[in-house]
């Protein structure tokens, strides 16, 4: 675990899946047939803080929802890939546009659709309720489940390791 903490100092960008990571792995179906997801506000707070601190963030999902895209756009996420079948291609596009190397990317995924992209990054991570194959290749397994703060967990750990998380002075001076 101490090696993982050292690796956090080298993270320059974050990439997240949606279903099972940023939201629970459950979809509700509304009366009109629209699929609905929930979003954790603490995850959102951490994402906005990371963006404000200069970390590029991408979201890569196989799902499609303009409402979800808008939620993360409002938090400052500039790279949102949806209806994706090949997550590695999206990762490569994100890396090229942000001039960041794969070894400096922390990715969080939860299921087999994330397997190849997780093998392509330096720091693969997952929520507590990820499937066994994903846990096996992860360098860190959050003690939080998908949609319940696992994203906040990894962002906060990275930012603390890099002395970019909130200090008392920052808390006094920042408008939330």
- Per residue in 17-62, pLDDT (tens digit) is 998 999 776 555 666 766 656 677 899 999 999 999 999 999 999 8
Query: According to the model, what pLDDT value does residue 172 have?
Result: 62
Q: What is the pTM of this model?
A: 0.90
Cα 152–125–97 angle (5° rounding)? Answer: 85
Known binding positions: 17, 19, 110
Enumerate the domain spans of the chain: 2-161
pLDDT band at 95; cut points 50, 70, 90? very high
Cα separation, 103 vs 107, in Å, equals 10
165/44 Cα distance (integer angstroms): 15
d(CA 75, CA 57): 10
Distance CA 115, CA 111 (A): 7
- pLDDT digits 0-9 by tens, 114-140: 999 999 999 999 999 999 999 999 999
Nearest to 41 by CA among 22, 18, 56: 22
pLDDT of residue 1: 46
Residues making up the annotated binding site for Mg(2+) are 17, 110
CATH architecture of 2-161: 3-Layer(aba) Sandwich (3.40)
* Numbered residues of the known binding site for substrate: 19
Report the percentage of the chain scoring pLDDT > 70.
85
């Amino acid at each position: 675990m101490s090696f993982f903490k050292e690796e956090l100092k080298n993270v320059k960008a974050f990439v997240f899946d949606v279903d099972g990571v940023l939201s629970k792995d459950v979809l509700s179906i509304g009366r009109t047939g629209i699929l609905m997801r929930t979003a954790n506000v603490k995850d959102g707070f951490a994402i906005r803080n990371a963006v404000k601190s200069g970390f590029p963030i991408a979201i890569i999902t196989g799902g499609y929802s303009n409402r979800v895209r808008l939620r993360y756009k409002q938090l400052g996420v500039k790279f949102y890939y949806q209806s994706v079948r090949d997550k590695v291609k999206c990762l490569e596009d994100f890396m090229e546009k942000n001039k960041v190397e794969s070894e400096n990317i922390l990715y969080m995924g939860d299921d087999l659709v994330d397997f190849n992209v997780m093998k392509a990054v330096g720091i693969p991570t997952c929520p507590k309720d990820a499937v066994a194959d994903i846990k096996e290749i992860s360098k860190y397994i959050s003690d939080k489940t998908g949609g319940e703060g696992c994203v906040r967990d990894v962002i906060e750990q990275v930012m603390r390791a890099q002395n970019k998380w909130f200090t008392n002075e920052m808390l006094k001076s920042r408008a939330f």
